[in-house]
Copies of this chain bind each other. A is one copy, B any other.
Amino acid sequence: MMRPGIFCSLLSQPAAQQLVNFDLKHWLILAASGSVGSTTVARDVMRIGIVGLGLIGGSLGFDWRDRGHRLLGYSRRPATCERAIARGVVDHASPDPAVLTEAEVIVLATPLGVLETTVRELRDYWHPEAIVTDVGSVKQPIVAALDPLWPRFVGGHPMAGTAENGIEAALRGLFQNRPYVLTPTDQTDPAAIAVVAQLAQELGSVVLHCDPASHDRAVATISHLPVFISASLIQTCLQEPDPAVQTLAATLASSGFCDTSRVGGGNPELGVMMARYNQAALLEQIDRYQIQLERLKTAIAAADEPAIAAILQQNQEMRPRYL
């Protein structure tokens, strides 16, 4: 069953030895398109295992299988394995952990809450030289938990999604032109980083490298903070004391409210996971946010229109940098 030679050949390629800069001060965009250039570090065809066949795991499977890789799927639920095979997400899938024994790269695409348990339960089935990466949206606690559990682990975060979940929601091209962040540490095997980076490039993703803490601080600001400020907006509406005004507000709400409230009215489980796994960074960003809101409120109360205009003008100028 085992073909360790393939793992060796993967590592022995000179390109795999290239230095990958993971200092955030010099984080770099490795590729803005999915083209595979001369820096290929892994074999053209690899055996990739996916643990957790939901939206992210399934969508990764689609794209990598289209590139010619052999995809092996693992899910506890036989029905999910069957659907993954039927949809063409994987070549083979099974609730038997042995399905991953031949995988050269293993992608953990389970919810954050079960990542560590999953690795502890399944790792005995993996090839000892397999490269393992995850897709978790928070990196510092995950990397801290998984680094000691697997020698060739590389933290990762493909930043894409849809409003839907599950294998039926998986789709091709989900990661095209989206950021795919790798968060290696000083201990991470450079060859493993290079292999995961190439697979991310093959998705058409913009591959970024940074340290786990900087990743968590950045996503707290632009991804997790928006959920809670948006959630507070909906709560403000729901707590309106005059029922007639509450009904009127619901009737008058339009695209502005719709957009601003979207992420605060989304999947509650995601919000709870953000609060659990990125608690410190999120709280710091909420504190910083409250200062900004208070500053605007003070300007409004003082009818300081030049101050309000200056803030809104800066926003209008700078927001496109985030789009």
Which A residues lie at the B interface, using CB under 8 A? 24-25, 27, 29, 159-160, 178-179, 181, 206, 208, 210, 214-215, 217-219, 221-223, 225-240, 242, 244-245, 248-254, 256-269, 271-272, 275-276, 279, 282-283, 285-290, 292-297, 299-301, 303, 305, 308-309, 311-316, 318-319, 321-323
Interface of A is mostly: helix
B218 and A319 within 8 A (CB): no
Q: Which residues of chain B are within 8 angstroms of A229 by Cβ–Cβ distance? A: 229, 232-233, 260, 293
B210 and A223 within 8 A (CB): no
Q: Which residues of chain B are within 8 angstroms of A272 by Cβ–Cβ distance? A: 305, 308-309, 312
Q: Which residues of chain B are within 8 angstroms of A311 by Cβ–Cβ distance? A: 231, 235
A282 and B309 within 8 A (CB): no
Q: Give the distance in Å from the alpha carbon of A240 to the alpha carbon of B322 in the complex.
A: 13
22 contacts between A and B (CB under 8 A): A25-B244, A27-B244, A159-B252, A159-B254, A179-B254, A208-B252, A214-B244, A217-B245, A218-B249, A222-B256, A223-B256, A225-B233, A228-B297, A229-B293, A235-B295, A256-B263, A258-B323, A265-B318, A268-B312, A268-B315, A275-B308, A286-B297
Q: Give the distance in Å from the alpha carbon of A179 to the alpha carbon of B255 in the complex.
A: 12
Counting every copy of the chain, the complex holds: 2
Q: Which residues of chain B are within 8 angstroms of A282 by Cβ–Cβ distance? A: 300
A289 and B233 within 8 A (CB): yes
Q: Give the distance in Å from the alpha carbon of A250 to the alpha carbon of B318 in the complex.
A: 10
Q: Which residues of chain B are within 8 angstroms of A258 by Cβ–Cβ distance? A: 322-323
Q: What is the CB-to-nearest-CB distance from A139 to chain B, in angstroms, rounded to a whole number?
A: 12
A257 and B322 within 8 A (CB): yes
Q: Which residues of chain B are within 8 angstroms of A159 by Cβ–Cβ distance? A: 252, 254
A231/B305 contact (C-beta < 8 A), A27-B248, A217-B245 known: no
B316 and A236 within 8 A (CB): no
Q: Give the distance in Å from the alpha carbon of A290 to the alpha carbon of B315 in the complex.
A: 21
**Closest residue on chain B to residue A262 by CB atoms:** B259
**Closest residue on chain B to residue A259 by CB atoms:** B259
Given known contacts A229-B293, A286-B296, what 19 new A-B pairs fall within 8 Å (CB)? Answer: A160-B254, A214-B244, A219-B249, A222-B254, A222-B256, A222-B257, A226-B256, A229-B233, A231-B315, A234-B318, A253-B323, A256-B262, A259-B259, A260-B262, A264-B315, A268-B315, A271-B309, A279-B300, A283-B297
